[in-house]
Amino acid sequence: MQPLVISHYTIVNCLGPGKAATLAALESGRSGLQPCAFEDARLDTCVGQMADAALRPLPDALAEYECRNHRIADLALLQDGFEEAVRAAARRYGAARIGVFLGTSTSGILHTEAAYRRREAETGALPAGFRYATTHNTYALARFVLDRLGLSGPSLVVSTACSSSAKVFGTAARMIEAGFCDAAVVGGADSLCLTTLYGFGSLGLLARGPCRPFDAQRDGISIGEGAAFALLEKPGSHAARACMLLGVGESSDAYHMSAPHPEGAGARLAMARALDSAGLAPGDLDYINLHGTGTKANDISEEQAVYALFGPRTPASSTKGWTGHTLGASGIEEAIIGLLALEHGLIPGSAHTRQLDPAVRLDYAIENRSARIDTVMSNSFGFGGSNCTLILGRPRR
Amino acid sequence: MTLFVEGVGVLGPGLAGWRSSRAILAGEAPFHPAPFEVPRVDLLPPVERRRTGLPVKLAIWAGQDALAGTDIDSGTLSTVFTSSGGDGDVIHEICSTLACPEREVSPTRFHNSVHNAPAGYWGIATRSSAPSTSLCGHDWSFAAGLLEAAGQIAAGQARVLLIAYDAPYPEPLNSVRTIGAPFACALLLAGSRSAGTLARLALRRGQQGPPTRICDAGLEALRSANPAARALPLLALLAADAAGRVDLEDSCGAVIALESRP
């Protein structure tokens, strides 16, 4: 594919608002996972919850979008000079020439969950003033971001569970290729809700303590929340030193709705397609940010896929022990952690992983390492067998 | 951006497949919106036929309908699924369960709650490891799906199967999001002309303007209520084998203009 410049990016999650908070937490070894005290959930698990005090009400003009998911998205847009950068890009390209392609898994379903607890006793009706289209509907996130940033380009929301906000990078590259837009805001947001907490609980996939990716004793995921955005542009002079999106690979497992292929066949195909799309060989990668959710089945499936392509030498880790699994936001959250790794020469370790599963043959980083990183890969695999791999890197010489 | 249509699928009240619906959509036979019957989806194994809801069945049936009569291998075909939002029945069940003290969410219902459930079941049934995406665009989902499919073709994909589907939500969600009758359609799109080409589509995103409506009052009611049925004016052109232009709206009021030529 034609590489795209990632000219600006921003990230929020339980580690705090902005790139600096995520980087500082990784460098200082501070995980954001805490015992679950979200709403009145009674679940013996940990979550990566954002501080409620940081999630400010939306401006009056955007009140119709008011919900936790959009407060998290709004907080991200306000960090790292991202909003200003997009407004400047809109002056260059025109507001209608910047696409908005976002990913979410559950959007603002928390708002509907609350409304269902306040249904009218006799008729079962939802409370007066309940807003569906601008909160819970899966497309609400794109409408909010279009309005918030004053954009009017082509837009859509990808909702393919945990690969959602990785796949938007592919959509953006194709939309630019087709000429529907000149630049794109890609991103994702997902927020804690009872649907995912009790849903993953029903599948027996919630870790009791904080998640421990690739640990011999791992027992499941810790759900997190967050939002992240990036501005993608065609290569040009104004951002010549920025990192780039080099390749995207997508595949389907065609195996099971909620279990990964045991040998990671779909994951391997996504990685191979990403390498092909970037014109790179496995040996060109300096760091792999694994999907690494911390479930027994997911991690071993991914290990086999990565080992089959890369062998034992490429440094790899999962960062979900720091942030929790931010589900539909995890694709771009971890792509951005990959960019931070590249810019700061940091291979992030794996929080809460104590003893590596002896079946793991990868060069798995439990502790932080310093290294020169030019090219990173980020894996995202979701329910329904939806796989996406991104390759990001410095401009090639 | 130019696309070539190689197959069409349609399913809705009084529209049970492309072949039998062509005359109706072309205006040559009357539209009788008979009560919708859920068709049997042969592609799904019996267990999954029982477990899956209407959106999955609508999408898979329409996708198969578009491939009927072609020799396309569904096992290697890229797919784009698009709909207004999630599966209303599943969301209703989960939110109702979560409003009870026990909160005993069914694991099957939870994994069926993902927006890409139709794509997941399609992939399993067709044994396809090809890329697949699942989009939402509220009222503008069909236009969003067309742009994504066109983008895939611009990026070098030879063929893409676009499937748009929407099913009504149960109460109380129906009162806050009314979808009308169930409807799904599918377009098998290609990047170049072939022996199987039915029509050529020129697609561009342009200035604001009103969307194209459809003459028949019954079909227009379906079109204006169900986001997937926003495709009906295009299907009417394709059914009539006629040249013409269809304008679709997106959420910013821009027009996705499609010029069709047999």
**Which ipTM value was assigned to this complex?**
0.98
Give the per-residue pLDDT at B209. 84
Instruction: Give mean pLDDT, residues A225-246.
Output: 88
pLDDT digits over A271-307, tens only?
999 999 999 999 999 999 999 999 999 999 999 999 9
Q: Which residue of B has its CA nearest to A40?
A: B101
Does B98 sit within 8 Å of A202, measured CB to CB? no
Q: What is the pTM of this model?
A: 0.98
Residue B16 resides in a domain: yes
- Chain-chain contact of A133 with B177 (C-beta, under 8 angstroms): yes
Q: Is A36 on the interface with B (CB under 8 A)?
A: no
Is B166 among the domain residues?
A: yes
Query: Of A202, A255, A389, which to mutate for an interface test with B (greatest number of B Cβ within 10 Å)?
Result: A202
- Chain B residue with minimal CA distance to A146? B252
Confidence of residue A397 (pLDDT cuts 50, 70, 90): low
**A238 pLDDT more than 70:** no
Query: Rounded to an integer, what distance in angstroms lies between the CA atom of residue B164 and that of residue B146?
Result: 9
- Nearest chain A residue to B177 by CA distance is A132
In this structure, are strands A369-370 and A363-364 parallel, antiparallel, or unpaired? unpaired
- The closest alpha carbon to A352, from A248, A224, A258, A266, belongs to A224
Q: What is the DSSP letter of A366?
A: S
- Here the tokens at position A334 are 């971890």
| B124 vs A: CB within 8 A | yes
Question: To probe the interface with A, which of B108, B134, B160, B208 has the most A CB atoms within 10 Å?
Answer: B134
Tokens in use for B207? 């200035």
How many domains does chain B fold into?
1
> In A, which residues are within 8 Å of B134 by CB distance?
158-160, 384, 386
Q: List all residues of chain B from 154 to 193 with a beta carbon under 8 Å from chain A.
A: 154-155, 171-173, 175-177
Sequence-ordered strand ranges (E) for A79-182 = 98-103, 155-158
What is the SS3 assignment for B87? coil
Distances (CA, A) of B187 to A188, A203, A342, B68, B119: 28, 36, 42, 12, 15
Q: What is the pLDDT of residue A237?
A: 60
CB B5 within 8 A of CB B201: yes
Say if B251 is an interface residue toward chain A (CB within 8 Å).
Answer: yes
Q: List the single residue in A1, A202, A384 with the smallest CB-CB distance to B107.
A: A202
Which of A159, A198, A257 minimises the CB distance to B115?
A159
Q: What CATH number corresponds to the domain at position B42? A: 3.40.47.10
The DSSP secondary structure of A136-166, one letter per residue, reads: TSTTHHHHHHHHHHT--S-EEEE--GGGHHH
Q: Is the residue at B246 inside a domain?
A: no
Mean per-residue pLDDT over chain A, rounded = 97
CA pair distance B240, B249, nearest whole angstrom: 22
A100 contacts in chain B (CB < 8 Å): none
| Residue B226 covered by a domain | yes
The answer to whether position B261 is within a domain reads no
Distance from C-alpha of A130 to C-alpha of A290, rounded to nearest angstrom: 39
Q: How far apart are the first and last CA of chain B?
A: 16
Contact (Cβ atoms closer than 8 angstroms) between residue B215 and residue A107: no
Q: And the tokens for B225?
A: 């209520």
Residues of B in contact with A383 (CB under 8 A): 111, 114, 116, 120
Answer whether B130's CB lies under 8 Å from B80's CB.
Answer: no
Contacts across the A-B interface (CB distance below 8 Å): 222
Domain that holds residue B15: 2-193+217-240
Element (H, E) at A255: none
Structural domain includes residue B252: no
- A162 flagged as catalytic: yes
Tell me whether residue A325 is one of the annotated catalytic residues. yes
Instruction: Test B252 with A146 for CB contact under 8 angstroms.
Output: yes
pLDDT in tens, A125-171: 999 999 999 999 999 999 999 999 999 999 999 999 999 999 999 99
Residue A300's CB: how many other CB atoms inside 10 A?
19
CA distances from A345 to A23, A174, A367, A374 (A): 11, 30, 14, 9
Of A46, A162, A211, A388, which one is the catalytic site residue?
A162
Contact A187, B161 (CB under 8 A): no
The question of whether A111 is a catalytic residue gets the answer no
For B38, residues 6+ apart whose C-beta sits below 8 A from its C-beta are: B54, B57
Q: How far is CA A47 from CA A27, A43, A203, A292, A321, in A?
A: 21, 10, 17, 16, 10
Q: For residue A240, give both structure tokens.
A: 């010549």
Contact assessment for residue A139 and residue A70, using Cβ atoms and an 8 Å cutoff: no
Q: Which of B74, B108, B136, B157 to mutate to test the interface with A (most CBs of A within 10 A)?
A: B136
Are B171 and A124 inside 8 Å of each other by CB?
Answer: yes
Of B88, B41, B84, B37, nearest in space to B62 by CA: B41
What CA–CA distance (Å, rounded) separates A79 from A89?
17
Contact B119 A386 (CB under 8 A): yes
The pLDDT tens digits along chain B (262 residues) read 999 999 999 999 999 999 999 999 999 999 999 889 888 999 999 988 988 999 999 999 999 999 998 999 999 999 999 999 989 999 999 999 999 999 999 999 999 999 999 999 999 999 999 999 999 999 999 999 999 999 999 999 999 999 999 999 999 999 999 999 999 999 999 999 999 999 999 999 988 889 999 999 999 999 999 999 999 999 999 999 999 999 999 998 888 888 888 7
Alpha-carbon separation of residue B173 from A119, A194, B95 (angstroms): 11, 18, 11
Of the candidates A145, A105, A103, which has an alpha carbon nearest to the alpha carbon of residue A332?
A: A103
pLDDT at residue number A165: 98
Model confidence at A239: pLDDT above 90: no
- A247, A278 contact by CB (below 8 A): yes
| pLDDT at residue B38, as a whole number | 85
Three-point CA angle A121, A124, A129, nearest 5°: 100
C-alpha distance from A385 to closest chain B C-alpha (Å): 6
Which of B97, B110, B121 is facing A203, going by the closest CB pair?
Answer: B110
Contact A127, A115 (CB under 8 A): yes
Q: Which residues contact A90 (CB under 8 A, 6 or more apart)?
A: A98, A149, A150, A151
First and final CA of chain A: distance in angstroms? 16
pLDDT at A395: 81
Strands B183-190 and B159-166: antiparallel
Contacts of B102 (CB under 8 A, 6+ apart): none
Query: How far is C-alpha B239 from the chain's CA centre?
Result: 16
- Structure confidence at residue A240 (pLDDT): 63
CA geometry: angle A195, A103, A113, nearest 5 deg: 25
Q: CB–CB of A139 and B98 under 8 A?
A: no
